[in-house]
Structure 1
Amino acid sequence: MKSRPKNFIIAGVGVTSLLLLAKKENREKLQTLTHKMKSYLPTNSENQYEMKAGHPDPQDTRDNEMVSEGAMTSVNYYNNQQEEK
């Protein structure tokens, strides 16, 4: 019984979107909006991080801090493993 209001809301959203997209001008507006939103997203974001990995810029202090923290984490882990042996 609890899912009944949720089902009505989902059905209402579906019907409303169908009615709004029935007009060609509304579909075109939605299409231009999606293209505009896609232009804000970075392209090849994975490649950007792959190129930067392991080669921090000396002037980029935030990145250098993350690299040093990560380096210390692995060193501390290695030291702890050696002490346990």
Structure 2
Amino acid sequence: MGRKSMIASVVAIAGTTTVLLGKRGLRAKVTQTVHEAYHKITGKKKREEKEKQLKIGHSHPHDYDDNKMVGEGALTSVQHYNKKQQMSHQ
């Protein structure tokens, strides 16, 4: 490969990269794909995946969003039970 063709290749790659990464949506997709490939190659899990695995069944007392979700779920089942009991006593 000659010097001119090598320079032309580098310029073409740089131009293509600039166009692709200049668009916000494409940039996000490229970034996500690169991260997924990295994690797949290295075998490392994303921090979010590790946190999700730790959270399963073990809600942290200061994780208000998770506690709210658990509370709402519990409340739904209690409301369903109460409604069923009221219907059976009528």
* TM-score normalised according to structure 1 size: 0.44
